[in-house]
A and B are shown apart, each in its own frame.
Chain A
Amino acid sequence: MIRVKQANPMHTIQDLGRYGFASQGVAQAGPMDSLSACWANSILKNAVNSPLIEIGGGGFVVEFTTPVNFSITGAWGDFTLDGKPLIGPGRHLAHAGSVLKIGRLSSGLFTYLAVDGGLHVEPILGSVATCRRDSLGGLTATGLPLSSGDELKYEADQLRPLKLIPRRYLDSYVTPLVCDVILRNSDNFSSIATDLFFNQSYTVAKEQSRMGYRLDGQSSIQSNRPRYSVPIPLGGIQIPPSGQPIVLMRDHQSLGGYPMIGTLTRRSLSLLAQRSPGKVVSFRPIQRDEAVAEFYKYQQFFGDFR
């Protein structure tokens, strides 16, 4: 098993999320960076939806009680296994008593830790994804994050050698990010507003949570006054009266009243999730056909992708 030695409230159990209950107001939850989460399971040949650990902001220490292959993907920094630096995102090997330290991050926000065969966690409403807002998921199914002393069960299969994820698949999480946006035609943004949205660059604001990320641009975007609340898609971009966009992340509420200018593609959403405050982001429109082609590519590669 994995014994948690040090944790903070941003360390949670996740899978690809909770589906079928949005009409009841349940958040879909799941990994903030689903690309990295899918990689973590994929490199271990786990089922893509296997329970894993999302480590937000570093500062996580665990001990493995029995030998097992584990994988680390996503945000990177000062990570050690038994005192030796981990050489990169990919599949690693823990011995009985090995201690893994996810220390300070140098790039990104969310690190994913999966083990061979996946963690054994009981789902609630079809998922183990931890959602504090809904008090659902995690070890106790009540939405609590991991804490020191928690024990997570796994059954190790045969052990395999170290294998790294090829560099071409990795993002630095530091360079300016261009997000692909599928436009939404319902909220009547003027062409001036739309042009401004696509032509200026933004920085990621401090207001970041699993519900949404706020972005700051030099000029604010004119939007219509708030209207009735309508369903919000994952990655939807709201323009509140402040004129500064909010991108809706995994724990977003099911309905919202602010006008929406468009939706981030799933790939862009994963990459944005890893951007810390101050990082530069801009947007470009993309045809849905093109976005779907990319989505299929990930689905073929990972088995499923959401």
Chain B
Amino acid sequence: MNLGESIQWISEDTIELCLGEPVAQETLICVEKISQWIHVTRPEWLIDYCYGFGVFSLVVRPERIETTTLIAELSDILSDQASEIALGDSQVIEIPVCYAPEFGLDLQSISEATNVSVDAIIDLHCGRDYRVLATGFVPGFAYLGETDHAIHLPRRDTPRTRIPAGSVAIAENQTVVYPRETPGGWHIIGRMPGSIVSLSKDAINAKLQMGRLVRFKSISMDEFLTIEAADDPG
């Protein structure tokens, strides 16, 4: 693969690689190839990396690797046919969601804007598998796509200043779970019990990893409270 114009240095130590269409399967496979290569080889010249919607960025020690070598390495990884990579589709991550009105703050307004009943919105949200299209923004945050066309909506005009942790929300063609209380402009449709991300001294353990498949399952308020109580470390 010739990377040519799809690669550029954007700072002294950061190089950016455009991999193509953000939601295309081929793009996600490229991301998986680079991520796996990083995990396996742990290049000593690499300081950090990040991926978001078609763009992979690598923070490097520029004194330890030549640009030409770096581009050659990446080309090799991306054109390696031998290591055909699967995205692990057999293991679907299931996220329980309580869509009760106390949690689904925007269900009614979405229903009015889209002409889809609240029950149908919930059915559409639970009725398909989503792909993790990107992770980041804040720890544990994952962008999942794509939602059913009938419930596509632009983000709210005025973002909320506080969205409760665990809130499940939609906007445009995507759906997300808020890992912790933050401001946000997405439409809130429910809440998941427990936490989507945990932290140890040396690692972040996020449920939703890049490229994986995710499915939402509707649960009652009782089930929500039971899981929430069991998950509470206190």
Residues of chain A touching chain B, judged by Cβ–Cβ distance below 8 Å, are 19-26, 28, 123-126, 133-136, 182, 184-186, 228-231, 233-236, 253-255, 260, 262-263, 265-266, 288, 291-292, 294-296, 299, 306
Instruction: Name the 4 nearest CB pairs between A and B, nearest first.
Output: A228-B53, A254-B136, A231-B57, A231-B50
Most chain B beta-carbon neighbours within 10 Å: one of A123, A186, A254, A266: A254
Distance between B94 CB and nearest chain A CB, rounded to angstroms: 21
Asked if A233 and B57 sit within 8 Å, CB to CB, the answer is yes
B14 touches A263 (CB 8 A): yes
In the complex, the answer to whether B63 meets A182 with C-beta atoms within 8 Å is: no
CB contacts (< 8 Å) of B18 on chain A: these are 186
- A180 CB, nearest partner CB in chain B, Å: 10
Within 8 A of A (CB), among B1-43: 8-14, 16, 18, 22, 35
> In the complex the two chains form, is A23's CB within 8 Å of B12's CB?
no
Q: What's the nearest-Cβ distance from chain B to residue A232, in Å?
A: 8
Q: Can you name the residue of chain B whose Cβ is closest to the Cβ of A253?
A: B137
Instruction: Find out whether the CB atom of B136 lies under 8 angstroms from the CB atom of A22.
Output: yes
A255 with B204: CB separation less than 8 A: no
Given contacts A125-B202, A126-B202, contact A24 B135 (CB under 8 A): yes
Is B159 interfacial (CB-CB < 8 Å)?
A: no
Residue contact A25 to B11, C-beta cutoff 8 Å = no
- CB of B138 within 8 A of CB of A253, answer yes
Q: Chain B residues with Cβ under 8 A from A20's Cβ?
A: 47-48
- Bound-state CA distance A121–B202 (Å) is 15
Q: Which residues of A contact B52 (CB under 8 A)?
A: 228-231, 254-255
Interface: B97 (CB within 8 A): no
Cα A296 to Cα B13 with chains together (Å): 11
Can you sample 28 A-B contacts with CB below 8 Å? A19-B59, A21-B204, A22-B48, A22-B50, A23-B135, A23-B136, A25-B139, A25-B141, A26-B204, A134-B139, A182-B9, A182-B10, A186-B16, A186-B18, A228-B22, A229-B52, A229-B53, A230-B57, A231-B51, A233-B14, A233-B59, A234-B14, A255-B53, A255-B137, A263-B11, A288-B12, A291-B11, A295-B13
Contact B63 A186 (CB under 8 A): no
- Smallest beta-carbon distance A118→chain B, Å: 19
Chain B, residue nearest A181 (CB): B11
Bound complex: CA A296 to CA B62 (Å): 9
Residues of B within 8 A of A186 (CB): 8, 16, 18, 55
Contact of A255 among B136, B180, B203 (CB under 8 A): B136
> Bound state CA distance, A306 and B136, in angstroms?
21
Contacts of B47 in A (CB 8 A): 19-20, 306
B54 touches A288 (CB 8 A): no
Task: Looking at the assembled complex, report how far the CB atom of B46 sits from the nearest CB atom of chain A, in whole angstroms.
Answer: 9
Is A25 within 8 A of B55, CB to CB? Answer: no
The CA-CA distance from A252 to B161 in the complex, in Å, is 18
Q: Are B134 and A229 in contact (CB under 8 A)?
A: yes
Report chain B residues within 8 Å CB of A234: 11, 14
Contacts of A231 in B (CB 8 A): 16, 50-52, 55-57, 136
CB-CB under 8 A from A296, the residues of chain B are: 62-63
Say whether B8 contacts A28, CB under 8 Å: no
Which chain A positions have C-beta within 8 A of B206?
Answer: 24
Contact, CB under 8 Å: A22 / B59:
yes
| Bound CA span A123–B200, Å | 11
Question: Within 8 Å CB of B54, what residues of A?
Answer: 228, 230
Write the nearest CB–CB distance from B177 to chain A, whole angstroms. 13
Is A25's CB under 8 angstroms from B48's CB?
no
CA distance A21 to B59 in the complex (A): 11
B49 interface hit (Cβ, 8 Å): yes
56-94 of chain B: CB within 8 A of chain A: 56-57, 59, 62-63
A296 to B199 alpha-carbon distance, docked (Å):
35
B140 contacts chain A at the CB level, 8 A cutoff: yes
CA distance A265 to B199 in the complex (A): 32
Collect the chain A residues with CB atoms within 8 Å of residue B56's CB. 231
The answer on a CB contact under 8 Å between B50 and A255 is yes
Q: Which residues of A contact B134 (CB under 8 A)?
A: 229, 255
B-chain residues with CB within 8 Å of residue A236 when the two chains form the complex: 10-11
How distant is the Cα of A188 from the Cα of B54 in the complex, in angstroms?
16
Question: Measured between C-beta atoms, what is the minimum distance from A23 to chain B in Å?
Answer: 5
Q: In the assembly, what is the distance between CA of A231 and CA of B210, in Å?
A: 14
The reply on B201 being an interface residue by CB < 8 A is yes
Q: How far is the CA of A39 from the CA of B204 in the complex (A)?
A: 32
| Chain B 196-220: CB-based contact to A (< 8 A → 1; otherwise 0) | 0001011110100010000000000
